[in-house]
Structure 1
Amino acid sequence: MLPCQRALFDMPRDVCFFNAASWSPLPRAAQDAGRAAVARKGQPWKLAADFASSQHERARKAAAVLIGADPSDVALIPSVGYGVSTAGKVLPVARGSRVLVLENDHSSPVLEWLVRAEAGGFAVDTVQQPADGDWTSAVLEAIERGGASPLALASISSVHWSDGGALDVMRIATALKRQGAAFVIDATHDVGVRRIDVKALDPDFLIFPTYKWVLGPYGRAFMYVARRRQGGQPLEQTAAARQAVSAEDTIYFRDLRYRDDARRYDMGERDHFISLEMASIGMELVAGWGSEAVVERLSMLTGKLAEGLGNLDVRLPDEKLRAPHILSVAFPKGMAADLPKKLAAANVHAAPRLGRLRISPHVYNDEEDVERFVDVFRKVAG
C-alpha cells in the first residue's frame, strides 16, 4: 500500500485535516516553486524566450497523463465554470430539448444551462437526489425516461461534491450515446483519485481544477475536448488560439484561422509564471503514485472512519455507492450547527455540506488521524 505522504507537506502532527474536498494543502515542493516563481517574475528580463511555452506544455502534459488524454486535446483554463461556459458556446442545444443536471450539484456544471434555458427554448431536467444514494441508477432512469423531451446533453459531476456519491460515468456515457446526447463532466472530485481514461469514456468535455485532489493552486484548471468538438469558437478571442498572430513576426495578424486542436480554447493571459509550475508539480506527484495506489490508501482511511463512526447516531452511505475518498455523515436529528467549529477547535477539520459533515482524507492522512477524528467526534457530537 502507498505509505502516508505527510512528510511531503507542511502539516504538523497535531493537525487532523480531513478537508481535501474543499482545498488541499500544497506540497512543500509546490510551495518552493511558487516562492521561486515570485522571485522570477520580479526579474523577468532573466526569462528565456521559450519559458512561457515550456510551462504551458509541461502543465498540459501533466493534466493529460491524469486522464489518459493526448496533450493536444487539453486546454488551459482558469476554472471549471469557464470550461462549462466554453462547452455551452460549442455544444448545440435544440429548442424543445432538455439538459440533464443533478440536484444540488456544484454550481459550475449547472448554472450555465439555467441561464441559457429560457432564451434557448430548452428545459433543465434535474435528477433528484436518490434516497438510497444510487446516483447512477437515478441518472440512467432520467436519460431513458419514456415520454420525456429529447435529451441534448448531460452536464454532471462524476462524484457528487456534497454527499460523495460516485457515478458510473462509463454506463452513463453509453446511455447518452444511445440517445445521441452530449456529455459534459465536472471531474473536480475524481481526477487524481479514481482512474479516468477519456479515450475509453469519450465525453465531449471533461474539466477539472487543481486546487483539490491534485494538490495544486487556485486559478488553474484543465479541459479535455473531444476532437469532434475542437472546431468550435472559443470563449475568448486570443492570439494564442490563432494559427499565426505574433508580435515577433513582421506581420502581426498573419493567419487568423483558429488552431486545429484543443489549444484554441486556452484562456487569455495563460502565462501564469507563478501558479502554472505549482500545478504541474502537484499533478506529477499524483500521477507518480498512480490511481490504484491512491484509491487503495484512501479507501482504507474512509473505511476505518466508517467503522469508527458506524455505531453512533449517524447515517453513512453504502460503501458500494460512495467515492473511495469522501465519507459523508448524515444526522437523523440534524447536524448541530456548531459541530464543525467544535471539531476545528480541537484541530480536527472537516466541512459542513448541505446538512451533512463531509470527511475527505488524502495521502497525507494516516490511521492516527482516523483515531483522533473518531475520538474528537464522539466527544463533541454528543
Structure 2
Amino acid sequence: MTGPMAPDQFRALFPALSGRVWLDTPASPPGALPVTNALTEAINAWQAGQLDASGWESAAPATRIGFARYLGVPEADVALMGSVAEAAATVAASLPPARRTIVVGDDEFRSNLFPWLALRDKGYRILEVPTAPHGRTESLLAAIDGTTALVAVSHVLSIDGERIDLARVRSATDAVGARLFVDATQSLGVLRPDLGTVRPDYLAVHGYKWMLCPRGAAWLVTPHHDELQPLLPSWKSTADGAYFGGRLHPAAGAARCDTSPAWLSWVGAAAAVRLVSSLPAETVEQHCLALADSFRQGAEAAGASSVGTGQPSHIVTVQVSDPSGLSDRLRSHRVQALVNRDRLRVGFHFFNNDDDVAVALRALAG
C-alpha cells in the first residue's frame, strides 16, 4: 500500500466489523489482524514446542523504541509497565518530598485515583476535586495553588467523554511549580496531545484501548526517570540483565522501573504499535471527532441529552429514557455499545464510519 491508510483500509483489518457495529472501544476494541496474527503465530509455535523465548522477550524493549518514536520522546524516558495503576503507584512512591498536596478529580478512573489516595497514610493531603457544572478543567484549575505537588488527570474520561484542556492545566502547574501526571489511556491512538506544549512530567498509557494492544502492555513516560524507585525491582530493572546473585544496579533511564513482561501481551503490543504508527495521526483525530459530533447532534435531535461539559472528544455519553428497550434495540441492530443505568456510551475509532453512526442513531430513536 502506498500513501496514508484510509479509514476503509483500516476497517478491513478488523474481521469482527463485517457483522457488527463496534462502538465500545472505550471498553476494548476488536482484534486487528496484524495483532491477532502475531499472537496466533506465537501461540502456534508454543503449542508445537517451538517457543521462541528470546524473540518473545525482545518484543517489550522493541515496543519501547516504537512507542517512543510514535510519541516523539526519548527512548530513555519510557518505562514498560503492566497497567496505569502500576505507573501511578511508581510515581507516587517516588515523588520529591518538598510538597505534600496532590490534586485529583473525585470521579477519576480508579487506577489514577487510588494510588494517590494511598499517599494519605504517608502524610500527604489528597484534594479530591468535584466536577463543577462548567467541567473538570475549570474545577482542577481552581484547586491548584502554591501547596500543590502534583496534579493527576485523565486526558479523556470514559464516564462522559470530556476532554481536559491539558495546556491550561500545564500552565497552571508551571505557575506554582507543580508536576503533572496524565493518563492518556482513553485518548492516545485517536487524539494526539501536544506534548511540546503540555510537557507532562508523567504520561501513563495502557495500550488495550485505542492503541489496539492486548491487555497487560502499558507505558510510563517521564524525563524524571532518575528519581523513580521501582516498585518491583528484578532482573528486568537492572543494568547488567544477569539472572542470579550480585547487587542491584538500576538500569539507565526509565527502564529502571521495567517489570518482567507478560510475553504474549508484548508480542501483540509490538504489532499494535506498528499498526497505529502507520496511521495518519491528524486525519485519524479529525475523522473520529467528526463522527462523534455527528452522533452527538443526532442523539440530541432524537431526544437524548448529552452528559458532561467541557471540551468534547471521540467518546460520547448521552442520557436516555428507556435504557432496557435501548439495550434490546442495540442488540437487534448488532451494535456493540455500553448502556449503564440511564446512559449510553459510544466511542469512535478510525475504523468507524458514517454508516455506524446512522445505525446507532436508528437504534437510539427506536
Considering the TM-score relative to the shorter chain, is it more than 0.5?
yes
Change in Cα spacing, 1:188 to 1:209, as seen in structure 2 (3 Å) is same
Is the Cα–Cα contact under 8 Å of residues 37 and 273 in structure 1 kept in the other structure?
no
Is the Cα–Cα contact under 8 Å of residues 101 and 110 in structure 1 kept in the other structure?
yes
Pairs within 5 Å for 1:171-190: 171-190=168-187
Change in Cα spacing, 1:256 to 1:18, as seen in structure 2 (3 Å) is same
Give CA-to-partner distance per residue, 1:23-64, whole Å, 9 cap, x none: 011101211111111123345666375x24531232112222
Offset of residue 22 of structure 1: 0.6
Change in Cα spacing, 1:3 to 1:62, as seen in structure 2 (3 Å) is same
One-letter identity of the residue aligned with 1:192: G
One-letter identity of the residue aligned with 1:219: G
SS in 2 for 1:153: strand
Which residue, 291, 298, 303 being the options, matches 2:288? Answer: 298
One-letter identity of the residue aligned with 1:159: V
Change in Cα spacing, 1:245 to 1:18, as seen in structure 2 (3 Å) is closer
1:72 aligns with 2:76: yes
Q: Which residue in 2 is equivalent to 1:328?
A: 317
Give CA-to-partner distance per residue, 1:265-303, whole Å, 9 cap, x none: 1112x1x33221211222222221132111111122112
Change in Cα spacing, 1:238 to 1:9, as seen in structure 2 (3 Å) is same
Is the Cα–Cα contact under 8 Å of residues 318 and 345 in structure 2 kept in the other structure?
yes
Distance 1:300 1:24 in 2: 19
Which residue, 22, 45, 53 being the options, matches 2:27? Answer: 22
Distance 1:262 1:298 in 2: 32
Pairs within 5 Å for 1:243-282: 243-247=239-243, 252-254=244-246, 256-268=248-260, 270=261, 272-282=262-272
One-letter identity of the residue aligned with 2:263: F
Give CA-to-partner distance per residue, 1:217-271, whole Å, 9 cap, x none: 1111111122x33232201011121222514xxxx44553211201111112x1x
Which residue, 156, 161, 179 being the options, matches 2:158? Answer: 161
Give CA-to-partner distance per residue, 1:302-361, whole Å, 9 cap, x none: 1221232221222226897111x1111124xx6635633542343112113575321102
Change in Cα spacing, 1:31 to 1:46, as seen in structure 2 (3 Å) is closer
Change in Cα spacing, 1:235 to 1:341, as seen in structure 2 (3 Å) is farther
Change in Cα spacing, 1:82 to 1:99, as seen in structure 2 (3 Å) is same
Q: Which residue in 2 is equivalent to 1:104?
A: 107
Is the Cα–Cα contact under 8 Å of residues 164 and 310 in structure 2 kept in the other structure?
no
Change in Cα spacing, 1:46 to 1:102, as seen in structure 2 (3 Å) is closer
Which residue, 257, 260, 275 being the options, matches 1:285? Answer: 275
Q: Which residue in 2 is equivalent to 1:139?
A: 140
Q: Which residue in 1 is equivalent to 2:227?
A: 231
Between structures 1 and 2, the one with greater helix share: 2
Distance 1:355 1:115 in 2: 32
Change in Cα spacing, 1:235 to 1:355, as seen in structure 2 (3 Å) is farther
Sequence identity, in percent? 25
SS in 1 for 2:278: helix
One-letter identity of the residue aligned with 1:284: R
Aligned length: 361
Change in Cα spacing, 1:8 to 1:286, as seen in structure 2 (3 Å) is same
Offset of residue 116 of structure 1: 2.2
- Give me the CA root mean square deviation: 2.4
Distance 1:341 1:115 in 2: 41
Is the Cα–Cα contact under 8 Å of residues 99 and 151 in structure 1 kept in the other structure?
yes
One-letter identity of the residue aligned with 1:244: D
Change in Cα spacing, 1:341 to 1:101, as seen in structure 2 (3 Å) is farther
Offset of residue 122 of structure 1: 2.3
Distance 2:360 2:335 in 1: 6
Distance 2:70 2:343 in 1: 30
Q: Which residue in 2 is equivalent to 1:361?
A: 348
One-letter identity of the residue aligned with 1:99: I
Change in Cα spacing, 1:100 to 1:326, as seen in structure 2 (3 Å) is same
SS in 2 for 1:274: helix
Offset of residue 197 of structure 1: 4.8
Give CA-to-partner distance per residue, 1:137-193, whole Å, 9 cap, x none: 22111114xxxx711211111112211111111221121122221211111112112
Q: Which residue in 2 is equivalent to 1:312?
A: 302
Offset of residue 365 of structure 1: 1.4
Change in Cα spacing, 1:81 to 1:374, as seen in structure 2 (3 Å) is same
Distance 2:49 2:253 in 1: 30
One-letter identity of the residue aligned with 2:77: D
Distance 2:309 2:7 in 1: 23
Distance 1:330 1:10 in 2: 31
Q: Which residue in 2 is equivalent to 1:348?
A: 335
Which residue, 121, 124, 142 being the options, matches 1:122? Answer: 124
Distance 1:212 1:234 in 2: 25
Is the Cα–Cα contact under 8 Å of residues 242 and 255 in structure 1 kept in the other structure?
no
